[in-house]
Structure 1
Amino acid sequence: MSKKKKYPKGVRPRRKAIEIGFPFDGEWCRETIKLPPTPANIKYAERRRGEILMRIGRGVFDYAKEFPDSVRAITLGQTCPTTIADLLNAYIKRTRNALAYSTWVDYKNSINNHLIPAFGDYRVGDLKVSHLRDWIMASVASNKRINNVLTPLRTVMVEALLDELIEFNPFDKLPGLSRMRGTTKTAYEVDPLSPDEVAKVLAVMGPQIQNLFQFAFWSGLRTGELIALQWRDIDWDRGMVRVRKSSTRKKIKAPKTNAGLRDVKLLTPAREALTAQKAHTFLQGECVFMNPRTGEPWLHDGQIRKTAWQPAVRKARIRYRNPYQTRHTYASTLLSAGEDPMWVAQQMGHRDWGVIRSVYGRWIPEARPDAGNKAEALFVVPKDKKEGTEQ
């Protein structure tokens, strides 16, 4: 007895044609492809079905366009999303597991709070360059922030062009933000603490909080990396901290870039902070830094800022900056001491030293009162000057 021939899922021969089936709008739909059921045509039907499923998943399937002679197409009518809101909602739904959770949340917030209110009611083909330009020019956000917010919209418009839902993508004709708005400064400022300020704020902190921030000032770790740091990540013999994880939105995950995976040298003040912290959390064997009020791991950076950093800054009576400035203080301290910028970039988890050059490329007088002395030492007094001869 011969075995029954198997066909790809949703594909089967129908006399001198091929039938494909797929779920759509809560129903199982069947359509006929008028090709003889040869092995090559069966493969073609499988690929076409896959493309249909992909467009359905992306929310851009046009039944009438795909099967113009189908009775079902007449019944369902034009099912392709017709508004920007439809495309954005379909996009955020299908990317839930494809994007990093923190990225997905950022995109979702951009879609719900900015993009749909501004552009959601426009039909896909009606979005114009002027709509985008007017919104951009009215925004008070930085160019970087605007680009981040527009990312989901830019993505769905590229997809709409590829799916032939629109004849052109308005983003293709949109001038660069710097050209439209000029160079805009972000509200965030790199504002490191001076050595005197570091000493003052550490002096008013309790033991565990002091250990946390002394380590932060002398390791340059991001707040999320400090929260995720475990004792197993400390290589005492090599004098290194293995940064492999970060806490973002209460989730522990790997850093966004390969450069973020790094070994940071344990400078003496950082090592001393870890040694002091051993008495508090080492025997528990997991998180290095924990909330001394609860005895539990820190939940997020906001908890550290509100319960540990802000009270200490007020008590120390120094000018307020956010706790991320500990990282900027680390970078500025190393650079002002003359450390190699390439090495500093590696320690901080940057791909190259471009960020170091653009953000930290200045000396801090409080840290280096002798800045410039090395350059002065290279100055050679002209021979005539030594002899006291005037020119």
Structure 2
Amino acid sequence: MGNQGSSYEGVRIASTSSIEIDFYYQGTRCRERLKLEPTPANLKKAARHRAAVISSIEAGTFDYQVTFPRSKNARKFMRQDRVDTYLRTWLATKKPTLKASSYKDYKNTIEGKLIPEFGHLLLAELKRGHVRDWASRLTCSNKRISNLISPLRAALDDAMHDEMIAGNPLAGWHYRKIEPPKEVDDIDPFTAEEQAAILAALPSDGFPLIQFALWSGLRTSELVALEWGDIDWRQKRCRITRAITQASKGEAETTKTTAGTRTIDLLPRALEALKAQKTLSYLHPSGRVFLNPRTGEPWTGDQAIRKTLWTHALKRAGVRYRRPYQTRHTYASMMVSAGEPLAWVSKQMGHTSVVTTARIYAGWIPTTNSQAGMLANDKFSVKHNAT
């Protein structure tokens, strides 16, 4: 019964259970089978379906992937202005400009959140209302929602500049819901007693890393990427220019922010740790300061530090668990509570501004000094002679 004709143009009986229609799309003759028994009624139905396809082609709204999702031609004629296609293409072109961690986050967001929700739409069909309704159903924080929308906004910006859409529906718009105040702050520094207990519980080849972390304030990703060439022994300073995240798989990238690229002062306890580490890794061909004691090779991220060194040390020390990043908060809180200048602490930490430092560590800024203000009073007060 195959390939028998019918009274309808472009409609043929393909088998006892299917009808074939043909049409031209983008200069190519296309044939698609419909799972319909070739009865007179179904032949008429197939003819109407073919007419609808031709009409949408002429109107410029035909989407092969939507109309024939299981067809081999669907990928061949995939519309570049569909949200799913465009987001994947956009991310591929952006990959060389993104850090590995940022690329991973964008890909997870695009494939796991944006495409399942908006992928079937054309770019021109996507409206702010679609995104607002979706965001209103999310149960995560405002910060998380902003992070999810961020790659979509950036991609739509590029689509607008490429003249694929007239404007970006998300330009200048941000979704925010009412959130209760945060009850628990992530800043949970170690006390002097806890620090001593942790350092005492560490093996000799792991001790320098943790002491340096506690007395330098570096991010874990910056510690992992530190090289001996970054150390200025004479000036007692250290240049921070690289970071290695778990996503970068051992490859050094630029620091988290522009301000993160900085030169810090090395305090005596930090220098002491470096001198102890020198005997362990100074001649290693990688040039890295800190090595994994178990492998003798550079650390590839923070996970190995946490699993093979940090967690065990805290258990042996009997110290309540906090993640390794708390060594950074410990350093900053010690400096601020000791009365070190906020501008200096901010530079040491690689913050974008002193305001950031003050906001994060406000709880550690001394406020109980009864002599507060007297230094300025003594220095700048002008004495007036009585007349």
The reply to whether TM is greater than 0.5 is yes
Which runs of no fewer than 5 residues in structure 1 stay unpaired?
Answer: 1-24, 26-63, 66-76, 381-391
Corresponding residue number in structure 2 for 1:104: 103
Which runs of no fewer than 5 residues in structure 2 stay unpaired?
Answer: 1-25, 27-58, 61-75, 378-387
2:202 aligned with 1:205: yes
Corresponding residue number in structure 2 for 1:125: 124
Contact 1:129/1:173 (CA < 8 Å) preserved in 2? no
Corresponding residue number in structure 2 for 1:43: none
**C-alpha separation in 2, matches of 1:318 and 1:328:** 16
Corresponding residue number in structure 2 for 1:306: 307
Corresponding residue number in structure 1 for 2:325: 324
Corresponding residue number in structure 1 for 2:178: 181
Distance 1:167 1:326, change over 3 A: same
> Could you tell me how far 1:121 is from its partner in structure 2?
1.9
Distance 1:140 1:322, change over 3 A: farther
Q: Which structure 2 residues correspond to residues 214-363 of structure 1 after superposition, within 5 A? A: 214-248=211-245, 249=248, 250-284=250-284, 286-363=287-364
Contact 1:129/1:170 (CA < 8 Å) preserved in 2? yes
**DSSP-derived class of the 2:324 partner:** coil
Corresponding residue number in structure 1 for 2:32: none
**C-alpha separation in 2, matches of 1:322 and 1:115:** 31
Distance 1:374 1:328, change over 3 A: farther
**DSSP-derived class of the 1:103 partner:** helix
Deviations 1:209-238 (A, max 9, x none): 111111000000111111111222111111
**C-alpha separation in 1, matches of 2:215 and 2:149:** 37
Distance 1:188 1:111, change over 3 A: farther
Query: Which amino acid letter does the alignment assign opposite residue 177 of structure 1?
Result: Y
2:189 aligned with 1:192: yes
Contact 1:363/1:371 (CA < 8 Å) preserved in 2? no
Q: Which moved more, 1:182-191 or 1:297-306?
A: 182-191
State the aligned residue count. 305
> What is the TM-score of this pair, normalised by structure 2?
0.70
Q: Which structure 2 residues correspond to residues 17-36 of structure 1 after superposition, within 5 A? A: none
> What is the TM-score of this pair, normalised by structure 1?
0.70
Query: Which amino acid letter does the alignment assign opposite residue 339 of structure 1?
Result: E
**DSSP-derived class of the 2:364 partner:** coil
2:113 aligned with 1:114: yes
Q: Which structure 2 residues correspond to residues 54-133 of structure 1 after superposition, within 5 A? A: 80-133=79-132
Distance 1:240 1:173, change over 3 A: closer
Distance 1:214 1:164, change over 3 A: same
**DSSP-derived class of the 2:187 partner:** coil
**DSSP-derived class of the 2:320 partner:** coil
> Could you tell me how far 1:371 is from its partner in structure 2?
4.5
Q: Which moved more, 1:266-275 or 1:355-364?
A: 355-364
Q: CA RMSD in A?
A: 3.2
Distance 1:282 1:374, change over 3 A: farther
Query: Which amino acid letter does the alignment assign opposite residue 189 of structure 1?
Result: D
> Could you tell me how far 1:283 is from its partner in structure 2?
3.0
Contact 1:208/1:289 (CA < 8 Å) preserved in 2? no
Deviations 1:118-157 (A, max 9, x none): 2212232332333212322232333222222222211222
Contact 2:128/2:170 (CA < 8 Å) preserved in 1? yes
**C-alpha separation in 2, matches of 1:226 and 1:345:** 18
**C-alpha separation in 2, matches of 1:300 and 1:334:** 27
Contact 1:228/1:252 (CA < 8 Å) preserved in 2? yes
**C-alpha separation in 1, matches of 2:82 and 2:183:** 32
Distance 1:136 1:305, change over 3 A: same
> Could you tell me how far 1:188 is from its partner in structure 2?
6.9
Distance 1:89 1:185, change over 3 A: farther
**DSSP-derived class of the 1:241 partner:** strand
Query: Which amino acid letter does the alignment assign opposite residue 323 of structure 2?
Result: N
- In the TM superposition, structure 1's runs of 4+ consecutive aligned residues that sit over 4 Å from their partners are 77-80, 182-188
Contact 1:230/1:288 (CA < 8 Å) preserved in 2? yes
Deviations 1:246-302 (A, max 9, x none): 112221122243322211111111111111112211233622111111111111111
Distance 1:308 1:170, change over 3 A: same
Q: Which moved more, 1:182-191 or 1:286-295?
A: 182-191
2:376 aligned with 1:375: no
2:141 aligned with 1:142: yes
**C-alpha separation in 1, matches of 2:150 and 2:327:** 30
Distance 1:374 1:307, change over 3 A: farther
Query: Which amino acid letter does the alignment assign opposite residue 152 of structure 2?
Result: L
**C-alpha separation in 1, matches of 2:178 and 2:135:** 8
Distance 1:215 1:374, change over 3 A: farther
